Amino acid sequence: MSQPVLGILTLYLNDRKVLEERHIYERMITEGRKLGLDVYVFTPADVHAGNGMIHALHYSPEQRKWFRRWRSFPNVIFDRCRIQKSARFRQLVSFRSRYRKLLFLNRPLRNKWTIHKVLHDRREFRQHLPETQLIHGLQDVQRMLARHQTVYLKPINGTGGRGILRVSRRQLLPGIYEIQGRNQSRNIIKPRRVTLSQIGGYLSSWNMRGNYVVQEGIQIELPNGRVHDYRMLVQKNGFGEWEVTGCVGRMGPMHSVTSNLHGGGRAIPMDRLLDKWIPDVQKREEVMQEAYRLGVEIPRFLESQYEALCELALDLAIDRNGRILLLEVNPKPSREVFSQIGDHVSYRKSIVRPLEYALWLYKQKKKSRLDSTDSAAL
């Protein structure tokens, strides 16, 4: 009996066909074998629409080598494609539309602004959302600055901390604001002091109208001056149910407004980082329980509003009073936070759970088809 086949859909990073998460795919292919799941990797560029075949990428754990083989379309597709400004991404959009009826573990999630609005409509989530507004013009930034000491300007489709700016009022210098952040290449932008009237000129080249949100800044600077937050990975398990795989603290490098690992941030166990932030033991325990509860409820709700999902990363901020705030939702999360802190159990779970869920989903669909056939025969 042939094994079920999982195709991991991704995008090449450049025209040299470099894969961003090659080492993760190697682990997934290896772990898939143990589960009785045949796993290969492909991109839209590898699909030959004429004969319905894919020039797929395979990995041999024994030889530790990658090779190609022509394959039929997989039974299930795991979409790991992140947004790019490239012809490759346009090709992906076309692929998703053309092969929409195939069985996907996950579908594209909406942008940051849309997700914020959907969650904000639910009273139980509203208290966990920082005030956020889509930028239509400079006046939106000015209004938020009038209400908050610090605001963040974020691209609605950004990932990895790219293009994020922080604007803060200088308490000891009335009328002066400090802007700093990261450009689209994740390079740190050094702090720059401006007046309110100069902010518009500074932001004019960033093309923010309709493409950025302005968000209330949460005080998350540690005594050492570095910002911190928490990355929670939530995944479907082998029974099709949402579970928190793990949650890890992240501390940004000096002079950074973000904590992303790709931008030089460092992963720290959640309990250790929270211990420095909230001294009261009972309060810390309550915060962690609430964070894990939210971690399951938010993906459940988002999946009920949109199409299929199988994993999400939630970026959480926790203020000094223990209030938990959802900074953003990432539908294509990385897994290296667990390996950085030496949590090998959670790291393996993060790799295996999508495979276990793929097997469960395949069996459910197969059973549904058999039931339908039996009913038709009666």
Dump pLDDT digits (tens) for 187-208: 888 899 999 889 999 999 899 9
Q: Could you tell me the pTM of the whole model?
A: 0.94
DSSP state of 268: E
The answer, yes or no, to whether residue 341 has pLDDT greater than 90, is yes
Contact 261, 336 (CB under 8 A): yes
CA torsion sign for 58, 246, 331, 203 is: negative
Dump pLDDT digits (tens) for 248-300: 999 998 888 888 887 788 999 999 999 989 999 999 999 999 999 999 999 99
Q: Tell me what pLDDT residue 259 has.
A: 86
The answer, yes or no, to whether residue 365 has pLDDT greater than 70, is yes
pLDDT grade for 372, boundaries at 50, 70 and 90: low
Q: Tell me what pLDDT residue 186 has.
A: 82
Distance CA(356)–CA(340), nearest Å, equals 24
pLDDT grade for 184, boundaries at 50, 70 and 90: confident
- Cβ neighbors of 194 (< 8 A, separation 6 or more) are 176, 177, 178, 179, 202
Distance CA(122)–CA(90), nearest Å, equals 34
Distance CA(220)–CA(329), nearest Å, equals 18
pLDDT grade for 374, boundaries at 50, 70 and 90: low
Distance CA(264)–CA(348), nearest Å, equals 23
Q: What mean pLDDT, rounded, does the chain reach?
A: 93
Q: Tell me what pLDDT residue 40 has.
A: 98
Dump pLDDT digits (tens) for 76-99: 999 999 999 899 999 999 999 999
The alpha carbon torsion through 200, 204, 205, 210 (nearest 10 deg) reads 120
Q: Tell me what pLDDT residue 319 has.
A: 93
